[in-house]
Structure 1
Amino acid sequence: MQAVILAAGLGSRLGDIKKNLPKGFLYIESLHETLIERSLGLLKEAGIQEVIIGTGYENKAYNALADRLSAKDFKIITHKNEDFATTGSAYTLWCLRELITQDFLLLESDLVYEPLAIKALLQDERKDLVLASGTTRSGDEVYMSIVQDKLQDLSKDKTKLDSIDGELVGISKISLQSFMKLDCHSQNDYEYLLKGFDVLKIDNLIWCEIDCLEHLERAKKLIIPKILKKDSQ
């Protein structure tokens, strides 16, 4: 199984703190590594041997990272979405179509999460699976409407959904067969392509997205200490 990380975005909401680097290179002092380094480490620990990173903004940083961390048993491939400034994550995923040759885990680059997120998806026998959590009150939630364990709809606007049954984490498992059927040109954001997929909901999953300074402060104060405490147990 491969892993695909979508990392083409500008990350403009983080301002100068990311130092003209992609937001996956945000360094977290208490973790002693960047967001992307943590994700790569967790994927390697889970047995993933090949990671494809869809790049865009400041792609050279990811190229250098791949050169530094690739190994015989852990290959990192980067591929740039040349139109990253005017397209969304669905198009970045489409740009990787010739590199994706197996079932894969799909991740966003700006996440901090406990190892359970990856392990649970890999251990579940279902082929196409979207990871959901319980209520986070993060302030930038993508709400999910789930019917019979399948993703019916999702939105940041609660009023647009028939029910609120979970929150999108930003990590999924997609079979090669289903990927080949996705219409990546029909949506701007990749997550809307996953409607109809099975959902794995972990109510108390420890995770967060870091997409702005407020997210970063919340991560430092609330989320990362919980992850470190659980990692040490």
Structure 2
Amino acid sequence: MIDKEFKVLEILHQDSALSQRDVALKVEVSVGTVNSIIKQLVKKGYLTINKLSNSQQYVVGEKGVVVLEDYIKDSLNRKIVLPAKKQAKIKQAVILAAGERTGFKMPIGFLKLGQETIIERTIMLLHESGINDIIIITGYESHYYEHLAKKYSRLTLVKNEDYRWTGTMASLALSQTYIKDDFLLLESDIVFERKALLELLKNKNRNCLLITNESGSEDEVFVEIRDDYIFKMSKDRHQFNKIDGELIGISKISIDIFEKMLEEYRHNKNPYFNYEYALLDVARTFSIGYTKLSDLVWTEIDTKWHYKNLINYIYPMLIEKDTRKKGAGQVDAN
């Protein structure tokens, strides 16, 4: 059934007393076209016509309601897929590092990992992936990052002065002056193995979230997938029919979708609005892909226990896996 037929069916379901001329005005077609469509709807068993003294009443039957419901659901599930670009390489990254974690007297990025810090490891992995233009959104104890910037010539710092009272979308929005093209978005409180970036960059979707199995960290952002794209994201597991994984905090975002996120944010009145939900708002219209790595070694650091677990368990595993893969000659995916 074509779209105009569904439109006529929907209009008559809302008001069965409309004349064919009224319907024609609403659908923006001729009266003759409406008459032809109504005949088809009657023939298919979706519509019946009751003759009244001076008019006709159009009644949408049960069969018509079912196909109309299916059509509306299908329309809601349709997504716009952004075309691929000739220049596909990602050259920029944004790291969200403004927040404060209770119990730590410095930004999470400056916690030690062997002879380096968490943020230095992240920068190193980005460089190895061919990304040298890095923007860091700072806030809490920003002087740590100011000192770090002296070591890296292409490190841009942007401070969120209101980091205590704003969510991550406010921080991300501050980077808009510096974003020139598609980019990677990372959270600063995560540690992950090398292949996380490599696999995300290999994904052909210009907009793509990295997900893995549930970690049980109690601060997960759960994800539901439908038709090979992101359908739902939330920290509340009660909202899901099924959970396909959780966000890691590494995403690939196109400049087009970033601009749509900024449009959503301009109407925002919630200061604690996070970027995941801006992205989900946009995902109602545009297709957002994903890469799932079920066996990824990674962790988020929200508490001292997380950090202790990182040092004693996660980091040794990372060193072993990264060393083994480097020795095997893993090729840069970007």
Deviations 1:168-202 (A, max 9, x none): 10000001111011123546111122222211111
Among 162, 170, 179, the alignment partner of 2:241 is 162
Other-structure match for 2:135:
52
Q: Which runs of 5+ in 2 are unaligned?
A: 1-90, 325-334
Q: Report the AA paired with residue 200 of structure 1.
A: T
Other-structure match for 2:275:
190
Mark the CA change 1:130 to 1:3 in structure 2 (over 3 Å): closer, same or farther: same
Indicate if the aligned counterparts of 2:95 and 2:137 stay in contact, CA closer than 8 A. Answer: yes
Other-structure match for 1:9:
99
Indicate if the aligned counterparts of 1:93 and 1:184 stay in contact, CA closer than 8 A. Answer: no
Mark the CA change 1:228 to 1:192 in structure 2 (over 3 Å): closer, same or farther: same
Q: How far is 1:134 from its partner?
A: 1.5
Matched, 1:138 2:228: no
Higher relative contact order structure (alpha carbons within 8 Å, sequence separation ≥ 6): 1
Higher helix share: 2
Name the stretch that deviates more: 103-112 or 115-124. 115-124
Among 104, 108, 111, the alignment partner of 1:23 is 108
Q: Which runs of 5+ in 1 are unaligned?
A: none
Q: How far is 1:228 from its partner?
A: 1.2
TM-score of the superposed pair, with normalisation by structure 1: 0.90
Among 91, 99, 102, the alignment partner of 2:181 is 102
Distance 1:138 1:229 in 2: 23
Q: How far is 1:222 from its partner?
A: 3.0
Choose 1 or 2 for highest CA Rg. 2
Alignment of 1:1-233 (within 5 A): 1-12=91-102, 15=103, 18=104, 20-29=105-114, 32-70=115-153, 75-182=154-261, 183-185=264-266, 186=268, 188-195=273-280, 196=283, 197-233=288-324
Q: How far is 1:229 from its partner?
A: 1.2
Q: How far is 1:46 from its partner?
A: 0.6
Distance 1:206 1:181 in 2: 32
Name the stretch that deviates more: 182-191 or 121-130. 182-191
SS of the residue aligned with 2:165? coil
Q: How far is 1:208 from its partner?
A: 0.8
Distance 1:140 1:216 in 2: 15
Question: CA RMSD for the aligned pairs?
Answer: 1.5
Distance 1:87 1:4 in 2: 17
Deviations 1:29-52 (A, max 9, x none): 3xx211111100000011002000
Distance 2:196 2:257 in 1: 21
Indicate if the aligned counterparts of 2:113 and 2:315 stay in contact, CA closer than 8 A. Answer: no
Distance 2:225 2:210 in 1: 12
Q: Report the AA paired with residue 184 of structure 1.
A: Y
Q: Report the AA paired with residue 9 of structure 1.
A: G
Q: Report the AA paired with residue 48 of structure 1.
A: I
TM-score of the superposed pair, with normalisation by structure 2: 0.64
SS of the residue aligned with 2:209? strand
SS of the residue aligned with 1:85? helix
